[in-house]
Amino acid sequence: MSEAFDASTARARIEALRREIEAHNRAYYELDAPTVADAEYDALFRALQALEAEFPELAAPDSPTLRVGGKPLAQFAQVRHDVPMLSIQTETDTGARGAEQFDARVRRELALPDTAAPLEYAAELKFDGLAVSLRYEHGVFVRGATRGDGLVGEDVTQNLRTVRDIPLRLNGDAPPLLEVRGEAYMRRDELARYNEQARARGEKPLLNPRNGAAGSIRQLDPAVAAGRPLKFFAYGLGAVTGWTLPATHSELLAALAAFGLPVCAERAVVCGGHELAAFHDRMGALRASIPFDFDGVVYKVNSLALQARLGFRSREPRWAVAHKYPAAEARTVVVGIGVQVGRTGALTPVAKLQPVFVGGVTVTNATLHNEDEARRKDVRVGDTVIVRRAGDVIPEVVAIVPEARPMKPLAQDMFAQEPVQPPFALPDACPRCGSRVVREEGGTIARCSGGLVCPAQVKGALLHFAGRRAMDIEGLGDKLVEQLSASGQVKTPADLYSLTVPALAALARMGERSAENLAAAIAKSKHSTLARFIFALGIRNVGETTANDLARHFGHLAALMQADAAALEAVPDVGPVVAESIVDFFAEAHNREVIERLITAGVQWSEGEGRMAAPPGPLAGKVFVLTGTLPGLSRDAAKAMIDAAGGKTSSAVSKRTDYVVAGEDAGAKLARAQKLDITVIDEAEFISLLQDQGDRS
């Protein structure tokens, strides 16, 4: 039985929970040193959510529950900055002379003689993200805004609250008003992980860290921002009342860090133009190893008193400058256009270039992203193009140089000309396996349809086929699949069933006992279900739930393979996109050959296991989401019970969800269910629901 609270005891418990959760957040997100297990953290979080729901009058702007996002907005409100968010001057000379010119300019403004000691500067990175302002009143974060035009920005408070390393309450004795200026950004590795997950969900990936940060902060639905890997660095101040400022900018940053605000560690206090240039060079050499993008460094006179003396020129401070790195763009010639096939079958056109030095490396290939992009830019063999290292990592073709395009006279008109080369077009067949190339209607990405046979996709196909919810081949993990595919022993999932114990034992780090265990697991996987087999095939857009629906509807694999789009769309929740994916997959002869080989190898299930003629179960039409660990049921057992009762399971909580069955460590799905006001039940209530519905049917 849960503990009962009145308003007084609830306030004390809520405040204690908030303090404890924020302490765990700082340990996890700032120090990378978790202090509790995920299950314990989630239990604290759920307890706080429940109390805030029961006592809404105790809501507070610094509650960690606000991290998950609030209600979507119709539009952003405008915010007038008390102190303008001004830009700083950019030094056009990207070499050492640029740093020395800034130092000389500052010394002239201060009328310092040549014999005076070198000036002290604070040197920092110039982050490549979105400038924002955080307003704290008595230590509590109350408003966040974009820079806008420097005088008026947009109120993005809800979105900035979702950024985990922005403290909702400052540490220590905070002043009555403290407005912190800084940059919202994304790390490259975290963006890559997010994009991989987005592609797996069928969502559009974010283009680059800068666009990703800016676009996420300006989402009208804060739940979207909450799902993005946003971070923040503080680098200055706006309006302040009731606080005696430190004497220097470097001490100011240290004070902000003491308040709990994230401040970049890549900074230094240096003296004179020579040391500024050395910092610029040192950071430039580290750009590839630092996990976030920056396009230069920023120099600031360290003394705040001297900053005040120097003042501003127009809308730029005289005491600061941005010293960028050389533009990562160059011109070269396209000598060919090839096509790469990714691990998901996506075809990407790649321009083969005359070698060119750009962004610190020699580039010979540059991505054209997709066929639509290549046609939009009209890149052709022989063109002179501008190449950029996008995010200073991935080379891309920015544009052609039209006047340099090779031309030839028109046959019918000697005075008119046409391009020597035709426009680019993707091939109709995959360059790796010869399977048909297909593209979803309205989509930009073309894909190889030979998911079971394409060498570019073999590793992903094998891992998916062997997965626990597919054919469940225990022990066939990433490293083994890498060895088997690299050696050529396994080119398709059907080849798994030809492996012998001696062949497996010969693999690196595989002994006789391990080989025997894996061989037994492969043999065991031959006895499966139609739903698992359909899911294991890795048909695009066909997840576990859809595979179950298809098996239930058709009952036989042959019937599914022969179904046209109209027959497939008769299956609940199968729309035109999913139907097209299924038709394309089975239309590819290579895929059908692998399926035939799998069946010949002995993979089997009970034909007719579909339930087209069966009466509707007591949970017919009900959609369940399982989350967390149930005390007495495995996830598979719970799914089987739902399936047997005619219900459906889904991996995501949506407005169409009827019940969320929550166990321990339920996490974000539970929070989303509560936000959408979806019925949440535990294991006992789930069992009771099954029994009650069964008695009524």
CB atoms within 10 A of CB 189: 11
Q: Rounded CA gap, 150 and 609, in Å?
A: 66
Length of the chain: 697
Q: Are 427 and 416 in contact, with CB atoms under 8 Å apart?
A: no
Residue 669 bears catalytic tag = no
Half-sphere exposure of 289 (CA within 13 A, CB side): 6
Helix (H) or strand (E) holding 140: strand 140-146
Q: Rounded CA gap, 48 and 65, in Å?
A: 8
Half-sphere exposure of 226 (CA within 13 A, CB side): 19
**What distance lies between CA 630 and its chain's CA centroid?**
29
Q: 38-54 vs 668-675: helix axis angle to the nearest 10?
A: 20
Non-local (6+) Cβ contacts of 39 within 8 A are 664, 665
What is the maximum span of the chain, computed from C-alpha positions, in angstroms?
Answer: 97
**What distance lies between CA 438 and its chain's CA centroid?**
26
What would you report as the CA-atom Rg of the chain, rounded to the nearest whole angstrom?
30
CB atoms within 10 A of CB 82: 13
**Cα-Cα-Cα-Cα dihedral sign, residues 288, 290, 292, 294:** negative
Q: Are 188 and 293 in contact, with CB atoms under 8 Å apart?
A: yes
Phi, psi angle pair for 447, to nearest 5°:
-135, 150
Q: Closest Cα to residue 387, out of 348, 333, 331, 337? A: 331
User: In terms of C-beta density within 10 A (0-12 exposed, 13-18 middle, 19 or more buried), how is residue 161 classed?
Assistant: buried
User: In terms of C-beta density within 10 A (0-12 exposed, 13-18 middle, 19 or more buried), how is residue 351 classed?
Assistant: buried
Cα–Cα separations (whole angstroms), residue 641 to 15, 44, 117, 310, 537: 41, 31, 80, 74, 24
Q: Are 552 and 645 in contact, with CB atoms under 8 Å apart?
A: no
Cα–Cα separations (whole angstroms), residue 147 to 217, 503, 507, 520: 12, 63, 58, 62
Phi, psi angle pair for 605, to nearest 5°:
-155, 175
User: In terms of C-beta density within 10 A (0-12 exposed, 13-18 middle, 19 or more buried), how is residue 212 classed?
Assistant: buried
Q: Rounded CA gap, 551 and 529, in Å?
A: 9
Q: 7-25 vs 38-54: helix axis angle to the nearest 10?
A: 150
CB atoms within 10 A of CB 500: 10
Phi, psi angle pair for 265, to nearest 5°:
-75, -20
- Of the residues 126, 377, 648, 669, which is catalytic? 126
Show which residues are catalytic. Answer: 126
